[in-house]
Amino acid sequence: MNLNVGEIIKQCRKKMKWSQEELAFNANISQSTVSRLEKNKITCDVNTLMSIAQKTNAQDVLMAMMFNIDMGLVSQMLQLVPTFIGGFFNWML
């Protein structure tokens, strides 16, 4: 599987309608690092990728691109998680 991490980062940023500078500020990295990450000129460690996904509230983008599935499907799945967890706890009680 060929995962385009740069595109994931770019889509996370675009979901928030942030510039590279805004993402850099919020992720505590430089704007040039964001640019190089998005162009896949440097590698991104998992912690940085997860931090960017959390800062941009774009975990759905990360999941969709990692598993090559439709964004709408991921959003629906994520909305069902609280219902599933709540139902599980009710069943346990």
CATH of the domain at 38: 1.10.260.40
Instruction: Give Cα separations from 78 to 35, 38, 61, 71, 87 (angstroms).
Output: 29, 26, 11, 11, 15
3-state secondary structure of 59: helix
State both tokens at 28.
Answer: 């505590």
pTM above 0.75, yes or no: no
Instruction: Give Cα separations from 23 to 2, 6, 43, 80 (angstroms).
Output: 24, 13, 17, 29
What is the total count of domains within the chain? 1
Note down pLDDT in tens along the chain; length 93 residues: 456 889 889 988 998 999 999 999 999 999 999 999 999 999 988 888 888 888 888 877 777 777 777 666 766 777 777 776 666 555 655
> Which domain covers residue 55, as residue numbers?
5-92
Instruction: Tell which residue, 28, 7, 31, 29, has the closest CA to residue 19.
Output: 31
